[in-house]
Structures are given as C-alpha cells and as structure tokens.
C-alpha cells in the first residue's frame, strides 16, 4: 500500500547547521533543498498529497533573527516556484510578516489548477488552534458533531492523513495535525532534515507498507 497523504515534520535544521559550525540560517537553506528532494520522491512513489510542517504557531516565539531567516527562505521560494505542484497553505498567515503572507496567497492562486502533487505547507500552524477555530465555526451551526467539526478544519478537503514522518530524532507531534493524526502511521527518523534523501522516503514508504492498519476494528 502506498500512502495517499503523507506529512513531514521537517525538524533538525538548526542542529544540522550547528554541527557544522554554521549559522542556523544555513540549516534552513539546506532544509529547503531537502524538502524539494523529499517531495519529488514522494510524488514519484505515488502519493497525491504531501503536507509539510514548516513553521508552527509556537515557532513565533523563536528569536527575531531566526524568524526573519526562515521567512526569507519561505518568501523566496514562494516567489520563484514555477513547478507543476498545486500549493496551498494551512495555518494562521496573520502570524507571518505581511509580505510573506501575500507571497503565499499569490502562489496558492497561481498554482490552483496545477495537476501534480498537492503540496500543503503548514505555516503559523497549530493543531490546537485549528481545532478551536473549527469548533467555533461548527458551534455556529448548532451542535458540534464529528462531521461539522471535520468540515471546518483547515484540512477538510484533504485525503485522510496516512503517514507522518518526523526527522530530527524527537518522537512527538509538536502540535501538528492533532485531530487528523488519529489513525495516521508514525515514522520517526534520527536523521536531521537537511540530510533527508530519496532513500529515506523509500524506507518510510516501505515501513508504511509493512504496517497493519486496524482503525480499531
């Protein structure tokens, strides 16, 4: 079985740079290259949707210098992207600098009819915030049900989340897709994100294929 929707928690960029005596910004630049490698391999292996956790709601608390560097990498990529992927964003874009949010919105608009991989970028995203926001929306329509809550989540139009891969050695979700992860398979890799290769994607997909999914039944 090939996962239809895969998510990547792209952790370990700062440590990658620190281990080389480089500024953390070097880790984010290299992390972007790794993201493109991983996404190409993900598409080639047959997934149709990939979500990447690029900047969490809590990452807003990072030092200003680091935030600026991450946002610079994000904006540059959004402005230059000319590939075949349909790119969309989840998260609170108002947590980002205005020009970055605008670049993201423009990319979403101009890639809307692309037919390749659907790439979802989580920026200023927090799973708890998304659930609270969705609950408020659903409550306005009456009693909150699973259906009404799910249809108000920012991920409502995406396929079920089959697989979450986290690099960087930590074994936690850090606020990512807390509702959607209910029955996702989890793969944790010790590798730092900038070191991720096509082979790591291959290995994660093979691991997924070996799992028996039961959904409680």
Q: Give catalytic residue positions.
A: 11, 59
Give 3 or 194: the residue with its C-beta nearer to ligand IPE: 194
Give 107 or 192: the residue with its C-beta nearer to Mg ion: 192
Part of the chain binding Mg ion (CB under 5 A), chosen from 3-11, 24-32, 74-82, 100-108: 3-11
Binding of ligand IPE by 65 (CB under 6 A): no
What x-and-dash track marks residues 9-48 binding ligand IPE by CB under 6 A? xxxxxxx---------------------------------
Binding of ligand IPE by 59 (CB under 6 A): yes
Binding of Mg ion by 11 (CB under 5 A): yes
Using CA of residue 106, residue 12, residue 67, residue 73, what is the dihedral sign?
A: negative
Q: Which two tokens stand for residue 164?
A: 């979450």
Give 154 or 167: the residue with its C-beta nearer to Mg ion: 167
15, 27 Cβ separation under 8 angstroms: yes
Give 46 or 169: the residue with its C-beta nearer to ligand IPE: 169
Q: What is the DSSP letter of 216?
A: T
148, 119 Cβ separation under 8 angstroms: no
Do you know the residue count of the chain? 217
Whole-angstrom distance, CA of residue 198 vs CA of residue 44: 10
What x-and-dash track marks residues 172-211 binding ligand IPE by CB under 6 A? x-x-------------------------------------
Using CA of residue 59, residue 144, residue 164, residue 117, what is the dihedral sign?
A: negative
* Cβ 14 to ligand IPE shortest distance, Å: 3
125, 151 Cβ separation under 8 angstroms: no
Tell me whether strands 5-9 and 163-166 are parallel, antiparallel or unpaired.
parallel
What x-and-dash track marks residues 154-173 binding ligand IPE by CB under 6 A? --------------x-x-x-
Closest residue to ligand IPE, judged by C-beta, is 14
Using CA of residue 35, residue 102, residue 136, residue 158, what is the dihedral sign?
A: negative
Whole-angstrom distance, CA of residue 107 vs CA of residue 87: 7
In the complex, which residues of this chain contact Mg ion (CB under 5 A)?
A: 11
Which residues sit at the interface with ligand IPE, rule CB under 6 A? Answer: 9-15, 53-56, 59, 70, 168, 170, 172, 174
């Amino acid at each position: 079985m090939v996962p239809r929707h895969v998510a990547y928690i792209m952790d370990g960029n700062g440590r990658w740079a620190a281990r080389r005596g480089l500024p953390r910004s070097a880790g984010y630049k290299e992390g972007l290259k790794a993201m493109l490698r991983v996404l190409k391999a993900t598409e080639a292996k047959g997934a149709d949707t990939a979500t990447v956790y690029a900047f969490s709601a809590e990452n807003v608390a990072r030092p200003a210098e680091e935030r600026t560097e991450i946002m610079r990498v994000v904006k540059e990529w959004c402005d230059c992207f000319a590939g075949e992927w349909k790119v969309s964003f989840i998260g609170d874009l108002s947590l980002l600098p205005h020009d970055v949010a605008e670049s993201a919105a423009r990319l979403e608009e101009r890639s809307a009819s692309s037919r390749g991989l659907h790439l979802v970028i989580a920026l200023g995203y927090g799973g708890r915030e998304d659930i609270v926001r969705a609950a408020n929306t659903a409550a306005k329509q009456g009693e909150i049900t699973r259906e009404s809550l799910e249809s108000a989540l920012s991920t409502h139009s995406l396929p079920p989340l089959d697989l979450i891969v986290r690099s960087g050695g930590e074994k936690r979700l850090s606020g990512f897709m807390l509702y959607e992860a209910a029955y996702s398979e989890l793969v944790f890799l010790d590798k730092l994100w900038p070191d991720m290769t096509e082979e790591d994607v291959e290995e994660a997909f093979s691991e997924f294929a070996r799992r028996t999914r039961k959904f409680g039944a």
